[in-house]
Structures are given as structure tokens and as C-alpha cells.
Amino acid sequence: MKEGRSKTTERRSLRLLEARAGRSAPLEVVERRKAMLGAVDGGVWRTERAPIVETLGGVRVLRFQPPAARRGVVLHLHGGGFRLGCPEMIGPFSAALAERCGVEVVLPAYRLAPEHPFPAGLVDARAVLAALRREGAGPIVISGDSAGGGLAAGLTALSLDEGHGPSGLVLLSPWLDLTCESACYQANADTDPLFSLGAAQLAAELYLQGLSPRDPLVSPRFADVAGFPPTFVSVGSGEVLADDGRGFHQALRAAGVEASLLAVDGMDHVAVTRGLTLPGSAETFEALAGFIDRFTR
């Protein structure tokens, strides 16, 4: 068993260190990024207590501080289909979590596809995690929403193979299977206004650029989850990604991992990170905050 795990660690580490040339972003992605940056500049996601902006592990990060002494760290990876999104979009959620749980919330601006395909985002996440450990951050919970949930689960699998897993894992509407074969893409097409089969297929192609979607670091749904830390999974029952979260939860439980699933009817994709007044957000926020409390008090 030790020999097998050692070989897996070597293969994954070497793979992550290999640079892959990407390609230019499609015009639609470029325009959506411009609009997002315009919203940031316009203060759409501005918070009352501004985050610290710095470079950590070679990656630009936002650090939301708790009002008193830090009890631990939540390393959160934002969503956006691996090609969109930015840490500022998760600012209000992160500020609320820092205040509620007394933790520091760290948001990396990881590199995006298609200019930076897999494994660039995971490399950046790992670099930030390593830097936090060097700081002596205390208990670390890895968290992510949507595509960031896939990165969070992949980072957890990788860090376990490298011998230092996190205290806990939070997955919010996670995208964990880039084969895009889930029946939910069809069954929930009419109830998910934010994501679709077509969008998922395009995002996966831009991210993978020829790699297999069944690689466990690409699609953690195929990972060996034995030894994973306690995990909290949240989904809206009408999301096209609902079965990604439910299936991962089942896999964790089958492997003997402590895992909880909160499936909320009528809650949209990543609602809790988009606004705490959206349907299902308050319930989800309190549940995940209670989960984080276990590791930081």
C-alpha cells in the first residue's frame, strides 16, 4: 500500500509541474471577463471591511480577516467554469464567513483557462495552501464553489497523497465530473438558469484541451476518497450539478468518510456565495458555518 501511494504521489506531482501551453480565450469569454472587472471596479462586491490584497505562494490572493484573533483558515476557490470568475465575486460571502466563524478566508486568483489549462489552477491552489502551512495558519478547511469545488476536492486528494490533508472540506454546488454525463443535465435543464450541458461541455473543453475528463485530479468524482477529511456538501436539488454533489457524498460515505449533504429545494446554483438573501442561502450558510466551527474552536 505504501509503495502504491508513493507512486501515485510521484505521478501526480510530476504532472502538476508540467507546463502546458494554452490558447487564446474566445471573444465571449474575453467580453464576460471585461464585464466582471468592470463590476469589480464599480464596487459591486465591495465589503465594509476591505480584504488584504497580497501575493501568497506566487499567487495574488484576497485575505478576509476575522474581527478578533484568527481561529483557523478557510482556503476558498471561486467558481466560473475554470475560465471565468474572480476572488472579488466571493467577497461578501467571505467577509460574512470570517465574521461568523472567526476565521480568515483566503481567496486565490488562480490562473484561468483556456490560456492556462489544467493543471495551472490546481498548481496555484497548491502553492497557496503550502504558503499558508508555512505561515503556521492553524486548522485549514479547503472550500470551493462550482468549478472551484472541483479544484477544492482535487487539492484535497493531492494534499492527502503528499501527506498533509486539510482539517475539513466544503463543497458548494461542486462540479466534480467533467465527463458531463450526469442525467441531471437533462432532468434539471429547466430548473437551472445558471448552468447547462452546453456551457459545461464548452468549459470542460477549454480547461482540458485534450486531457481525459476521467483523470481524478480533473474530475474528483473518480478519485480514491479513502482518508478524506470530514466533508460538507451543498446542492440545490434543481441544479444540473446536483448529482455531482450527491454522488460524491455517496462515495465518501461508502469509503467510511464522515460526510454531510444539504440538498435544498428551490436553491439556485452557488446561491450561498452569490447572496445570503437568495432562497436557500441562509440555511446553507448556517450549516456550513456550523461545520467550520467544529475545526476552529
Active site residue ranges: 146, 239
Cell numbers of 232, please?
460538507
Assess contact for 128 and 61: CB atoms under 8 A: yes
Q: How many CA atoms lie within 13 A of 255 on its CB side?
A: 19
Q: Distance between CA atoms of 189 and 242, rounded to whole angstroms?
A: 11
Cα distance between the two ends of the chain: 34
> Strand pairing partners for 56?
59
| CA angle, 256 then 146 then 190, to 5° | 110
Place of cell 494534499: 159
103: phi then psi, degrees, rounded to nearest 5: -115, 160
Ordered alpha helix ranges (H), 102-196: 120-135, 147-161, 184-187
